Amino acid sequence: MVSSVAVDIEPLLVFVFGLNYPLHGYLHTFLAAIPYGLLLGWIMAGVEEVLGPLYRVLILEENAPRGRKPFLLAGVAGTVSHVLLDSPLYSDIRPFYPLEDNPLFDPSLTFEIYAFCAMSFAVGVVLYLTLWMLRLKPRGSWRSPKAFPRLDRKFQSLSSFLIVFRISASGPQPLYTSCTRFAGRGSLKLATIGIAMLGDERRPVMERLEPKCREQMERLAQIIKDKCKYANGESPPVVVAPKVASSIRDSKEVGAYLASRNVKILVLAYYIWDYPYLVWPLVNEVGKDKPVLCISNNEGLYPGNVGLLATDGALRQAGFRTHRIVGDFEDPKVQEALVKWVRAAEAYASLRGQVYGMFGGHSMGMETGYFHLVPIQRAFGVTVYQIDQLWLLKEMEKVSEEEVEKGFRWLASMVREVKYDGKMLTPETLKRQIRLYIAMRKVCEEWSFDFCGIKGQRDFTEHVCITDVAEMLMNDPYDWNGPKEPFVCSTEADSLGALTMQVLKYVGGGVPVLFADVRLYVPEKDLWLFVNSGNHASWYASRSWDPRENLKKVTLHPAIEMYFPTGGASVEFDAAPGEMTFARFGLYGDKLYMVIVRGESVDLPEEEKRKLREQTNPTWPHMYVKLKASFEEFLNVFPANHIHGIPGDRVEELVRFCEMAGVKPIVLGEDAKRFHKPIWELVG
């Protein structure tokens, strides 16, 4: 057990002391792990005399092992199994060093490995507890360990074996904390949801119905935990009020309870008639700036919907922008509406307090991408901090050559082709782009930025390198060090674009977000070409969480010298087909709005795609899109040259988000008929 954990002294030291050393270095190779395991076994054998009695008290061994051989074997088993189980998960491990490749690397096995570890741990715990139960039986009983010493020893051996494997793969790993798609490096900031319920002041009523009311609150919490899953496997944290608020004192106490647990989103559940005025002590304790959902049953026996209309009517009289859901909590449509509202509320609440890091100013005079502080701060609570691109350049100089080489080998081995031309695209210019990515990640982490944008043109693109590869990797859910959270990065420091992307990331459940130019409309096909020089996350090539499935469709082309004289790689691929929701924030005067339109990324015959690419730029990524809106409708209202998207139908989530933020949603196409104007628009 000690030897399996001890291998991770490497990443622990790197993190604690900020060492310029790989997270998975020599100890994560078989060449070093075997002698390291022998050394640990030798040490543990030396302390057996001291620790042995403790082991036997804890039923970890029955008798002291004879000689050092068992310790040496256990030490090697722990270190080797650690390397063996880590190798499929981390691309930077070189298990067969001095060979540089990792033939065992297979991220698709992540779930299976962690599932195996979890099951092994569970079985180990059961067997260990069984041993204790046997130990506690009366001496001489047929269940006593003394009655079946061989069986007892087998249980002990199997328990130890399973525990070793559990700790080997899921011990103090710095990059993976759970068996999720991108657990570990960066995590999606999610706000805490509070669920409360108002009740009837009449005590006989509450004595009879409070247990049922609490059951309804707990059920809502469970639905959110089960149904509202993000791409990293997490659900939003949920806090349920400890009682139904059926008096002024109750209301104050429930509000204080939720506030003390940092609740940022409030779900008011209704199951019976309540006294509407009781909402005020609770809401004023929690805070008036929180998104509020009023959700009720729809049954005659217990008129929760009556209480909802009375209480929510009072909230709206005071200017609260609330939302309502009425229906059976077990109805899939009701649950779907609840999950969509939660996604919207999480985007709204989680954005507040976030900081957008802008590297350089807005690019090439594109005013539609400017960060307009006052309306953005009022609507979303987001601010900006600008760092000059010179800072990035200086950070690039500090990046270790070893880390750059690892990234270079990984990327070059993953993509379909790197079209070196000896001038614009060389190994050195590609490494410079990788160096930029590493520097950007470091600066964003050090400054605690939540999302970012980089100017690129023309400073960097004419004197350092083009930013395409760095932007792609920032937005992707992986790099050579394994899975990571997609980190929104907008090209050309498009601030409203970055803000749109951050919202889409939340309502989309944490998936990578598309950034593209609205490049070309083909009228005879009613087809749009969304194209950009770098900000297509490679995830869109196949929409796979396995980088190999996506990057094998990516080609790196030499940058166009006329525009990007410093050189580097342009990223090129065709986006995978599938439903999409596109959006973009805009400003009219000082008023924010969001244009929302569904569409379909379509596949076309290869020759047809080739001809279309030739009309734009064949070295850039393309998405071929059929919008659910006419050319005229789209052109009439779309606010900028950049568009952003996520998979699936997320129109309702975006509309709800806009309503919470006081931003006008402009839904295009037939989807506009799905939504009614909220009361604050009708009478505002």
| pLDDT, tens digit, 9 for 90 and up, residues 260-307 | 999 999 999 999 999 999 999 999 999 999 999 999 999 888 899 999
Which pLDDT score, from 0 to 100, does residue 95 have? Answer: 87
Q: Could you tell me the CATH number of the domain that includes residue 589?
A: 3.20.14.10
140, amino acid identity: G
Mean of pLDDT values over 166-178: 32
Question: Rounded to 5 degrees, what angle do the CA atoms 521, 524, 525 make?
Answer: 70
Nearest of 22, 118, 4, 32 to residue 399 by alpha carbon: 22
Distance CA 61, CA 76 (A): 19
Alpha carbon 249 to its chain's center: 40
Q: Give a yes or no: residue 669 inside a domain.
A: yes
Distance CA 166, CA 4 (A): 9
Q: Could you tell me the CATH number of the domain that includes residue 304?
A: 3.40.50.1070
Q: Of the residues 351, 382, 401, which one is the last residue of a structural domain?
A: 351
Mean of pLDDT values over 649-673: 97
Q: Give a yes or no: residue 185 inside a domain.
A: no
Buried-state track 105-115, b at ≥16 Cβ within 10 A, e below 16: bbbebbeebbe
> pLDDT tier at 653 (50, 70, 90 boundaries)?
very high
Question: In the predicted model, is pLDDT for residue 56 greater than 70?
Answer: no
Alpha carbon 480 to its chain's center: 18
Question: Is the domain of 535 the same as that of 388?
Answer: yes
Q: Of the residues 301, 316, 351, which one is the last residue of a structural domain?
A: 351
Question: Is the domain of 266 the same as that of 401?
Answer: no
Question: Is the domain of 129 the same as that of 277?
Answer: no
Question: Is the domain of 542 the same as that of 645?
Answer: yes
Distance CA 485, CA 41 (A): 38
Q: Per residue in 486-530, pLDDT tens?
A: 999 999 889 999 999 999 999 999 999 999 999 999 999 999 999
Q: Give a yes or no: residue 469 inside a domain.
A: yes
Question: Is the domain of 310 the same as that of 363?
Answer: no
Distance CA 551, CA 557 (A): 14
Question: Is the domain of 660 the same as that of 513?
Answer: yes
Nearest of 279, 353, 285, 349 to residue 316 by alpha carbon: 279
Higher pLDDT, 83 or 276: 276
Question: Is the domain of 335 the same as that of 465?
Answer: no
Task: Indicate the helix (H) or strand (E) that contains 505.
Answer: helix 495-507
Q: Give a yes or no: residue 177 inside a domain.
A: no
Q: Give a yes or no: residue 176 inside a domain.
A: no
pLDDT > 70: what percent of the chain?
Answer: 87
Question: Is the domain of 231 the same as that of 142?
Answer: no
- Contact 518/528 with Cβ under 8 angstroms? yes
Task: 15-21: list long-range contacts, CB under 8 Å, 24+ apart.
Answer: 15/174, 20/400
Question: Is the domain of 299 the same as that of 398?
Answer: no
Mean pLDDT of the chain: 86
Where in the sequence is the domain holding 102, given as residue range(s)?
2-170
Which pLDDT score, from 0 to 100, does residue 145 have? Answer: 36
User: Which residues, other chains included, contact 538 with Cβ-Cβ below 8 Å and sequence gap of 6+?
Assistant: 472, 476, 547, 550, 551, 554, 571, 573
Question: Is the domain of 254 the same as that of 389?
Answer: no
Question: In the predicted model, is pLDDT for residue 173 greater than 50?
Answer: no
Q: Give a yes or no: residue 182 inside a domain.
A: no
Q: Give a yes or no: residue 538 inside a domain.
A: yes
- Contact 200/273 with Cβ under 8 angstroms? yes
CB atoms within 10 A of CB 70: 16
Q: Of the residues 306, 332, 351, which one is the last residue of a structural domain?
A: 351
- Contact 595/504 with Cβ under 8 angstroms? no
Question: In the predicted model, is pLDDT for residue 424 greater than 60?
Answer: yes
Question: Is the domain of 129 the same as that of 215?
Answer: no
Alpha carbon 680 to its chain's center: 33
How many helices (H) and strands (E) in the chain? Answer: 24, 21
Which pLDDT score, from 0 to 100, does residue 153 have? Answer: 38
Which pLDDT score, from 0 to 100, does residue 169 have? Answer: 37
Q: Per residue in 349-370, pLDDT tens?
A: 999 999 999 998 888 878 888 8
Which pLDDT score, from 0 to 100, does residue 146 have? Answer: 37
Q: Give a yes or no: residue 178 inside a domain.
A: no
Question: Is the domain of 58 the same as that of 149?
Answer: yes
Rg for the chain (alpha carbons), in Å? 29
Q: Per residue in 548-590, pLDDT tens?
A: 999 999 999 999 888 888 989 999 999 999 999 999 999 999 9
Q: How many domains in the chain? A: 3
**Cis bond before residue 98 (omega within 30° of 0):** yes
User: Which residues, other chains included, contact 350 with Cβ-Cβ below 8 Å and sequence gap of 6+?
Assistant: 188, 189, 190, 191, 264, 506
Three-state SS at 414: helix
Task: Please give the model's pTM, rounded to 2 decimal places.
Answer: 0.74
